[in-house]
């Protein structure tokens, strides 16, 4: 049996406190965006090596030099982003990057356009926490999550400061095309806006090629804060490790503020990130192959359930299911599945108002678990349909 063919559910209830640990033993969680597999052995070895080197004193503020060197090479080659080592800041998690971008770039009364929306909840929360107003740029929720170029510029006002992009996109799994990114870039330049681009899911891409908006031209690199991380594809969310890159002007501000907040990111977490980038490629390839194969089976299964429509994701471990046919809200269906099917899913409205009528499923598990969850969902939704409005 391959390492992605089965999961140890009993162990997950103990180690995955947010995804599994909160529920009864007979509940299946397809919610929180953890993966259900242990991390690559190479990552654990990287941490052990760091311990053996007694790396307990304070380290470099921007992140370990050897780590930033590897990140620079990766950004220059894999992402075509022209960053130097000084234009990288290692941070404790991508979520912290979202916070920093909002905290540093937005003032009271400013507006930030979230494009596309619906989008990961902390985008909304952190814009609001900065005293600014989040303005969602909704996808076409009726047609395979099409990006609506024609509606973006109309959302810009004289208070708009930033466009926040999530690519690959949580929750729809969409990968933005070169044309769409060029369009966003043109608008950002025309209105002199900062761009924040969350590219945490860059390693979980199946169908299209992921492109960084900061790679389009030097000016876009200068005005874009791009966040990359390890939580999802490498399954090390608990280690809190991620990095930002942007041009010198923005980077100076970021470094100045973070050194007074956290000094620097945890050294052991950086060792994990370094091992992920340098030594875990084979593990990652095997994992993405597994994800891709169950993605195809999952989409086929779900589209066979009356009332559900599932658009195949280009990337990410997410399926964003259209459940509008049941005539209930996303919250109601989420609650119903929790009670009746004992399956935990995420309500579409956790991602903003455009997510109404949808639920999100995280399929980064083994097929047997997913199939059992789908059977339960199918049975309980059939009962719901029969019971009438």
Could you say whether residue 99 binds ligand PLP (CB under 6 A)?
Answer: no
Q: How far is the CB of 310 from ligand PLP (least distance, A)?
A: 19
Count Cβ neighbours within 10 Å for each residue of 298-319 and write b for 16 or more, e otherwise.
Answer: bbebbeebebbebbebbbbbbb
From residue 149 to residue 178, what is the string marking binding to ligand PLP with x (rule CB under 6 A)? Answer: -----------------x---x--------
Nearest to 321 by CA among 377, 367, 379: 377
In this complex, which beta carbon is closest to ligand PLP, that of residue 271 or of residue 384?
Answer: 271
Classify residue 32 as exposed, middle or buried by CB count within 10 Å of its CB (0-12, 13-18, 19+).
middle
Q: How far is the CB of 81 from ligand PLP (least distance, A)?
A: 18
Q: How far is the CB of 198 from ligand PLP (least distance, A)?
A: 5
Provide DSSP, 1-59: --TTS---HHHHHHH-TTTTTTS-TT-EE--SS--SSPPPHHHHHHHHHHHHTT--S--
In this complex, which beta carbon is closest to ligand PLP, that of residue 274 or of residue 381?
Answer: 274
Contact 181, 79 (CB under 8 A): no
Q: Which of residues 288-327 bind ligand PLP (CB under 6 A)?
A: none
Provide DSSP, 265-319: --HHHHHHHHHHHHH-HHHHHHHHHHHHHHHHHHHHHHHTSTT-EEPPPSBSSEE
Could you say whether residue 364 binds ligand PLP (CB under 6 A)?
Answer: no
Q: How far is the CB of 381 from ligand PLP (least distance, A)?
A: 26
Q: Out of 112, 237, 321, 370, name the contact with ligand PLP by CB under 6 A.
A: 237
Could you say whether residue 362 binds ligand PLP (CB under 6 A)?
Answer: no
Q: How far is the CB of 119 from ligand PLP (least distance, A)?
A: 7
Could you say whether residue 231 binds ligand PLP (CB under 6 A)?
Answer: yes
Q: Out of 46, 59, 63, 93, name the contact with ligand PLP by CB under 6 A.
A: 93
Applying CB under 6 A, what is the total number of residues that bind ligand PLP? Answer: 13
Contact 113, 164 (CB under 8 A): yes
Q: How far is the CB of 33 from ligand PLP (least distance, A)?
A: 4
With H, G, I as helix, E, B as strand and everything else as coil, classify residue 98. Answer: helix
In this complex, which beta carbon is closest to ligand PLP, that of residue 97 or of residue 301?
Answer: 97
Q: How many helices (H) and strands (E) does the chain have?
A: 12, 13
Instruction: Dig out the tokens for 86 from the structure.
Output: 């000084």
Could you identify the residue written with the tokens 């779900």?
A: 302
CA distance 216 to 222: 11
From residue 17 to residue 56, what is the string marking binding to ligand PLP with x (rule CB under 6 A)? Answer: ----------------x-----------------------
Q: In this chain, which stretch among 10-18, 50-58, 89-97, 103-111 interacts with ligand PLP, using CB under 6 A?
A: 89-97
Could you say whether residue 95 binds ligand PLP (CB under 6 A)?
Answer: yes
DSSP 8-class letter at 169: P
Q: Which of residues 241-270 bind ligand PLP (CB under 6 A)?
A: 242
Residues in a beta bridge with 133: 111
Q: Which residue is nearest to ligand PLP (CB)?
A: 93
Q: Out of 120, 147, 363, 367, name the contact with ligand PLP by CB under 6 A.
A: 120
The binding site for ligand PLP (CB under 6 A) comprises 33, 93-95, 120, 166, 170, 198, 200, 229, 231, 237, 242
């Amino acid at each position: 049996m391959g390492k992605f063919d089965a999961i140890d559910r009993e162990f997950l209830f103990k180690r995955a406190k947010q995804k599994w640990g909160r529920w009864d033993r007979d509940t299946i969680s397809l919610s929180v965006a953890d993966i259900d597999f242990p991390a690559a052995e190479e990552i654990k070895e990287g941490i052990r090596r760091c311990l053996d080197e007694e790396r307990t004193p304070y380290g470099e503020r921007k992140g370990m030099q050897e780590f930033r060197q590897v990140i620079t090479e990766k950004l220059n080659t894999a992402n075509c982003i022209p960053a130097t080592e000084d234009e990288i800041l290692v941070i404790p998690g991508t979520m912290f990057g979202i916070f920093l971008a909002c905290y540093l770039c937005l003032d009271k009364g400013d507006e930030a356009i979230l494009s596309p929306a619906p989008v990961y909840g902390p985008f909304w929360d952190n814009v609001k926490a900065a005293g600014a107003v989040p303005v969602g740029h909704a996808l076409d929720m009726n047609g395979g999550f099409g990006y609506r170029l024609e509606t973006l510029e109309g959302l810009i006002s004289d208070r708009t400061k930033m466009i926040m992009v999530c690519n690959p996109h949580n929750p729809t799994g969409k990968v933005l095309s070169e044309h769409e990114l060029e369009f966003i870039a043109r608008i950002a330049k025309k209105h002199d806006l900062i761009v924040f681009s969350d590219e945490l899911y860059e390693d979980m891409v199946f169908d299209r090629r992921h492109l960084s908006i900061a790679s389009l031209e030097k000016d876009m690199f200068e005005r874009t804060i791009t966040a990359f991380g390890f939580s999802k594809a490498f399954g090390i969310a608990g280690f809190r490790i991620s990095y930002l890159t942007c041009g010198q002007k923005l980077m100076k501000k970021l470094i100045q503020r973070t050194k007074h907040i956290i000094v620097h990111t945890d050294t052991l977490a950086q060792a994990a990130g370094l091992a992920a980038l340098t030594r875990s490629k084979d593990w990652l390839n095997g994992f993405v192959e597994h994800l891709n194969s169950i993605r195809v089976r999952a989409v086929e299964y779900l589209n066979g359930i009356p009332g559900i429509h599932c658009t195949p994701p280009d990337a990410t471990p997410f399926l964003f299911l259209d459940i509008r046919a049941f005539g209930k809200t996303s919250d109601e269906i989420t609650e119903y599945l929790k009670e009746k099917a004992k399956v935990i899913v995420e309500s579409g409205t956790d991602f903003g108002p455009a997510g109404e009528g949808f639920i999100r499923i995280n399929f980064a598990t083994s097929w047997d678990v997913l199939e059992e969850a789908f059977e339960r969902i199918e049975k309980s939704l059939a009962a719901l349909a029969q019971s009438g409005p």
